[in-house]
Amino acid sequence: MIPIEDMILFVSIANNGSFTQAAKKLNTSVANVSKRVKQLESKLGVLLLIRSTRRLVLTDAGKQLLEHCAPIGIKMEEAYYSIVDSHQKPEGKIILNSNTNFANIVLAPIIEDFLKTYPKINFNIVLVNKLDLPPLGDYHIAFRSGNLKSSNVIAKKFGVIKYVVCTSPKYLEKFGCPLIPEDLSKHNCIDYDYRSEGRIWSFSNKQGEQFHIRTEGNIIANSSAFIRHQVLFGTGIVYLPQFMVKRELAQKKLVKILPQYITKEVPVYIIYPYKTSLLPKKLGVFIDFFLNHVHNLM
């Protein structure tokens, strides 16, 4: 039986009329092509090709083999190049799985700019609010923060999500500003009910002292985006990822509280179920683009 790769090689040589062109298409050397043809001829016990300095001619045996191999070989060659093209050309669909807030605030503007450069790539965005990864095969790239549970993926840490305590100038005018973490117990603290530690806000100072403050307030929600809206309305004080309020802090719509204290930081990862060397081109260019732009938004 002729190996499949030899069928593809022989059909490619015959169709291109050149060892050199076949070598280029198959991403190998002319010497390797020549060697494999000789091995094929030796296996069959016939001469398939007559090669001169100017042209390449199929022998009768070569024509006979091509007649039988061509339909299969062409299909295989098409399949081969289709797969190679999908890995070498930045085009096709990317299934991306991410936390909702991170996607809305950080990913959205990055993807907008990315598509201007790579218009032949399209996205299927799946937004979730959980730490568990979807099953392998259900995504190409995922974003997660915190402690990862799966070890069957490539997880590249690209930074940390820093938390910030902030409120609106309107709230400060009415209720005053906390000066130490313990002062938070006297204020309306709006909290996120997915936090594993409950209504405990953690701080440390430059000397390494830890402060774990139990907060109280009249709103608790399972959406940090909702909490962000509430703090802008002047309802209370919040403890949120910095990327969610970065623009509002820069615009002075919100004010940092207790800036002399250190808040928690959570590692954040870009995750993909491929070895880097085997990444399709569409994923490789997106990962590079993302890593080059994400720090401006966090």
Q: Any idea what the CATH number is for the domain that residue 29 is in?
A: 1.10.10.10
Same domain, 165 and 256: yes
Domain total for the chain?
Answer: 3
Phi, psi of 189 (to 5 degrees): -105, 115
Q: Are residues 146 and 168 in the same domain?
A: no
Residues 190 and 255 in one domain: yes
10-residue averages of pLDDT along the chain (298 residues) = 72 81 82 86 82 74 77 58 62 91 94 95 91 81 84 85 96 96 95 73 92 92 90 95 94 96 93 75 92 89
Separation of CA 102 from chain center:
13
Q: Do 261 and 286 sit in the same domain of this protein?
A: no
Q: How many CB atoms lie within 10 A of CB 151?
A: 6
pLDDT at 192: 83
Q: Which residues of 61-94 are buried (b: 16+ CB within 10 A; e: fewer)?
A: ebeebbeebbeebeebbeebeeeeeeeeebbbeb
Q: What range defines the domain where residue 28 resides?
A: 4-88
Of the three residues 39, 62, 88, the one that is the final residue of a domain is 88
Q: What is the pLDDT of residue 104?
A: 93
pLDDT of residue 45: 82
Same-domain status, 262 and 274: no
- Kindly state the tokens that stand for 155: 């997880």
Burial 113-147 (b: 16+ CB within 10 A, else e): ebeeebeebebeeeeeeeeebeeeeebbbbbbbee
Q: Do both 68 and 216 map to the same domain?
A: no
Compute the Cα dihedral for 66, 68, 74, 79 and give only its sign. negative
